[in-house]
Amino acid sequence: MTFHEQIQEGIPSVLPQPKPYETDINHAPKRKEILSAEEKKLALRNALRYFEPQHHAELIKEFSHELETYGRIYMYRLRPDYRMYARPISEYPGKSEQAKAIMLMIQNNLDYAVAQHPHELITYGGNGAVFSNWAQYRLTMKYLSEMTDEQTLVMYSGHPMGLFPSHKEAPRVVVTNGMMIPNYSKPDDWEKFNALGVTQYGQMTAGSYMYIGPQGIVHGTTITVLNGGRKISKNGEGLEGKIFVTSGLGGMSGAQPKAGNIAGCITICAEVNPKAVHTRHSQGWVDEVMTDLPSLVKRVKLAKANKEVVSIAYQGNIVEVWEEFDKQDLHIDLGSDQTSLHNPWAGGYYPVGLSFEEANTMMADNPELFKEKVYASLRRQADAINKHTAKGTYFFDYGNAFLLEASRAHADVMAANSIDFKYPSYVQDIMGPMCFDYGFGPFRWVCASGKPEDLAKTDTIAASILEEMAKTAPNEIKQQMQDNIKWIRGAQENKLVVGSQARILYADAEGRINIARAFNEAIAKGEIGTIILGRDHHDVSGTDSPYRETSNIYDGSRFTADMAIHNVIGDSFRGATWVSIHNGGGVGWGEVINGGFGMVLDGSSDASRRLESMLFWDVNNGIARRSWARNDEAIFAIKRAMEAQPLLKVTLPNKVDDTLL
């Protein structure tokens, strides 16, 4: 069968032969035993409903084996035979260019070079899935190959509900992931309902098909490290010779060493998974690998003495690094952690004292003991961090729920008032006041042609737009503009592409609209091919997350989720090609609601109209909320937006004299 025929086939009428379990692939760990005997029957019924009854007798034993062995029914047999990667948009079958663009993005999310556990359809974060099983993938791709611009595909936590009559101004796809009733949104609820096959964790950009590999976070990480360095800088000195210690080399955390190199420091990143270390080293995202502490200490001292810019992966546990550097009195300038502590019980965090293999076995076979080990490890890690911060280390929570889980482990991470954490979230200290409140966030685009030369042209277009805007930018955002110009000018030389020909930069609403408009004009002239716009949900207005994106909102509303819902509803009728709303991205199931979009630019006047309308709302929705919380930077930004757009009228706060209170 041709590639087109395989896509259009959907779930085959003749079952493919079972596929061997490939041990050289990075697989998801076994999920813990959580279903009763009756619930396991229900999980099997739910899985078999994708198949004609004549196949049930053959598949039920296989699916039962998967459920017992891996804790989930992935339907490995249905993995397609073709190579999984983002093809040029012209190579996809279909009646709708918008639908073809979505197929491209889905395959990019499952590319072996991009996805963390590709055979389990998990893109990043340990459990951030595009689909729950391969039947869902096949059926979704079939629907996308058939749909017209007069239909909308509805996605229900990985399951394609079907094609519904619609109109060309509506989104082509509407995605929800994990939208549980609030009282059923605890971690074990996810384990149970995911095992039943009725919901999934879409992370932030996996389940909305907008993940672009570690580049997707490397720019934000670079900005964070740069500005973290500026916070501790004396006399304007840079990060030369300064040490940044962190952990995690997975899907998102894998960006840290590359960002450290761009920021100009010495980065030490610990990772327990040998395959993750190998992947990042082979991709050039980390310079060197060390497997023992004495060699690591010696190498770091040499790098510090020579003021090298170098990234080092330590294949081992981060707790050992913090403790050993304390013993050696090796000063850490910047410290953080980016292990997947939103998912601590299923491979997101590996406790010190256990090997990688021992931990994987224990988390499935003895989850209660594993939880004790994780909490003990977090207490040790926090104690070691506290010793370093007492010597002057600037430590920040990297939005991975490190401080939240450490507090639940009764680690020493609480402030004197016993309410707040003793260390700030990076959003509180850096990204919130410096970027999000001003409307700057991670704007992305993918060249649907798959041509590197198209990406190079878009880089040039974006850089020229930003440089022109910088000439008249107010002083409040000049640094943000210059950081982004430096970033995009160096994007090619830093070799950031993994998977699709994609780029990211931090831009405000004006910047996003200007860049998108210029792209659309270039497409109309035939200078570049179709462009797919998107963003990380980790942005100005797409995400309500009290321990991360909205952690610098102090009016008591940081636990509300109205903004994310407003965002996705507004995007859907202002021209987005697809929209998504998720429970659980970034910091954990039940801890956040986040929304996102995708938008196809094809050079048309329709695309021009839609980008103006949607991108303006997508950013200013968040600035309006942040300004109402009395954030001074956001008040400045929304007043500027109202001056630029007379139809915008936002309710502004009146401040109260503290002496009255």
Sequence ranges of the binding site for NAD(+): 125-126, 203, 271, 398, 586
CA angle (358, 361, 366) in 5-degree steps: 110
Residue 60 burial (10 A CB sphere; 0-12, 13-18, 19+)? middle
Q: Cβ contacts of residue 317 below 8 Å, gap of 6+? A: 270, 272, 350, 351, 352, 353, 377
Beta bridge partner(s), residue 503: 445
Residue 643: Cβ within 10 Å count: 9
Residue 129 burial (10 A CB sphere; 0-12, 13-18, 19+)? buried
Beta bridge partner(s), residue 535: 443
CA angle (459, 463, 468) in 5-degree steps: 155
Indicate the DSSP class of residue 132.
Answer: S
> Where is the binding site, in residues?
125-126, 203, 271, 398, 586
The SS3 call for residue 245 is: strand
Report the alpha-carbon distance of residue 200 to residue 194 in Å, rounded: 6
The SS3 call for residue 350 is: coil
Torsion of CA 630, 633, 637, 639, to 10 degrees: 50
Q: What are phi and psi of 51, to 5 degrees?
A: -125, 150
User: Parallel, antiparallel, or unpaired for β 593-601 and 531-535?
Assistant: antiparallel
CA angle (209, 215, 217) in 5-degree steps: 85
Report the alpha-carbon distance of residue 115 to residue 427 in Å, rounded: 26
Closest by Cα among 253, 597, 225, 643 to 431: 225
Contact 482, 425 (CB under 8 A): no
Closest by Cα among 108, 345, 142, 131 to 210: 108
Contact 255, 221 (CB under 8 A): yes
Give the start-end residues of each E strand in 440-501.
441-447
